[in-house]
Amino acid sequence: MPAPRLSWPKRLTCAFFVLTPVVLALAVPLYQRTTPELAGIPFFYWFQMAMAVAAASGCGITYFLAFRNEPEGMEAP
């Protein structure tokens, strides 16, 4: 089954949701510090965990946007 064709606004929205956490996680100088702490965990570590959750959420949102109009019987084999 070919991938669905998305309009440009949807493509940009999907790219935003997927790429934002990745770019933020790669920008180490933005979070290279220990304060503030969250439950005793330094900022450097909990920010990376938050970006992993944000990336997973972004992938889920992108999947929903790309495939929400698929007919029910069009699942992959």
Give the per-residue SS3 of the chain.
CCCCCCCHHHHHHHHHHHHHHHHHHHCHHHCCCCCCCECCECHHHHHHHHHHHHHHHHHHHHHHHHHCCCCCCCCCC
Rounded mean pLDDT for each run of 10 residues along the chain, 77 residues in total: 69 87 88 86 90 92 80 58
pLDDT tens, position by position, 29-50: 888 888 888 899 998 999 999 9
Report pLDDT for 23: 92
